[in-house]
Amino acid sequence: MSQWKGMRNFKIVSVILLVFLLGITIGLSRSHKASARSNNIYEELKVFTDVLGLLQKEYVEETKSNELMYGAIKGMLETLDPHSAFMPPNMYKEMQEETKGRFEGLGIEITIKEGILMVVSPIEDTPAFKAGIMAGDQILKIDGDSTKNLTLMDSVKRLRGPKGTQVTITIMREGFTKPREFTLTRDVIPVRSVRHELLEKQYGYIRLSQFQEKTEGELDKALKALEEESKGSMKGLVLDLRNNPGGLLDQAVKVADRFIESGLIVSMEGRREDQKMKFFAHSQGTIARYPLIVLVNGGSASASEIVAGAIQDHGRGILVGTQTFGKGSVQTIFPLKDGSGLRLTTARYFTPNGRSIQAKGIIPDILVKPAVSEEEKVTPLPKQPMEKDLERHLIETEKGPPTEKEKPKKEEAKAKKPSDPQLERALELLKSWEIFKNKAKEK
């Protein structure tokens, strides 16, 4: 018996020793891999510091180390997607002012498509809008200098400036026989996030131009004003997200929460666990369930697509207009010690049904094209750039099966187009909604 116990103890000790030795082996293996990775990074950084030293010592003109460092960081981020960027202190400060609803410049949202600087959309009542700058315009030059090799941040920096100063941009547009110059005077751009109007005394209209710090509060005020103006008899609401380039994620979630009573609004997935988040609607604060029409177009991007996608997936309203921009990624702003900032794409977002809209956008339930003026018939509108047209754009990934709502319903062409056929169609739908509801009550 004692011999058996001795053998048993020997086996237990042997197992413990084996596990211990295996642990050391695995630990050494991981340590070796980590050490190898660190050595690789060290060697790469050594090359960088060698180049930096040579530039400071051998370059024909004296160089400034901070400018070299900023240039290196910008170059590094240019290898990523087009929405990640480095912002020097002055640009980072301007960005912070913009989210608060005020900056100085021309009033246009821009992007880069196939190396060409293009207009995503002009902001209403701004110098660019008043001068006739259109979505899809190609900006070939700024003050006579080619934009071909400029980054997006460099272009923004050159277009913005103090109120009263002028800038000349050279525009090429489909239908132009040659580029044209537009000289614009910069102004304070007080981006009005929310506008509202009562249509035909019974139907509310709310325009969201951008998602800023105060958008949720301004939306609540607009809804209250419409209720008071209609004396509590409002029969439907049009939410206009056309040419809304996005903005703050938390504000988009709060706006969607106003219309959706419960359930998922949007989910985010990044590489790290803390970047995997889900945002849900709450019953508290949900507005009365008016019939809802949401207007979208190719200038509706990012945060506005989150709102539109949530409303569409929950069946809370009907989307009318044209296909959206297709920016399904989330950018996080990281402040740096010297006052500069880093805008980095950290996650992809998905609609409640698991749809990714990255590089393909959201297709409305009812496809309605915008009006075409007599001038535009002669000079056709340029094709609006989409996320899928941007260099280095993220490849979309599906999280769930596509829904039937991705297939637009074809609409019959009208012989006579109103000035805003998309808004007119929205109003028609709300009136039809009311008619059907009354008919159902009669039965």
With a CB cutoff of 8 Å and minimum separation 6, the contacts of 338 are: 66, 89
Identify the bridge partners of residue 294 per DSSP, sorted by sequence position: 239, 319
The strand ranges marked E within 224-314 are 236-240, 263-269, 277-281, 292-296
Catalytically annotated residue among 327, 329, 360, 405? 327
**Residues 6 or more apart in contact with residue 220 via CB below 8 angstroms:** 258
What is the three-class DSSP state of 381?
coil
Half-sphere exposure for 195 (CA within 13 Å, toward CB): 14
Closest residue by Cα to residue 343 from 331, 352, 354: 331
Catalytic residue of the set 300, 302, 329, 356: 302
Backbone phi, then psi, for 30, in 5-degree steps?
Answer: -65, -40
* Nearest CA-CA partner of 227 in 284, 288, 269: 288
User: Does residue 414 contact residue 428 with C-beta atoms inside 8 Å?
Assistant: no
Structural contact between residues 241 and 295, judged by C-beta atoms closer than 8 angstroms: yes
Distance CA 169, CA 75 (A): 25
| Residue 302 annotated as catalytic | yes
**What residues form DSSP beta bridges with 231?**
none
Q: What sign has the CA pseudo-torsion 250, 252, 254, 260?
A: negative
> 263-269 and 277-281: which strand pairing?
antiparallel
Catalytic residue among 313, 329, 356, 405: 313
Q: In whole angstroms, how far apart are CA 204 and each of 34, 242, 252, 259, 269? A: 60, 16, 20, 14, 36
Instruction: Judge whether 137 counts as a catalytic residue.
Output: no
Mark out the alpha helices in 166-294 (DSSP H runs).
215-229, 249-259
**Tokens for 326?**
């297709």
For residue 109, with 0-12 CB atoms within 10 Å meaning exposed, 13-18 middle and 19 or more buried, which class applies? buried
For residue 220, indicate whether it is catalytic: no
Tell me 357's DSSP state: -
Q: For strand 108-113 and strand 194-199, is the pairing parallel, antiparallel, or unpaired?
A: unpaired
Of 384, 413, 403, nearest in space to 324 by CA: 384
SS3 389: helix
Residues annotated as catalytic are 302, 313, 327
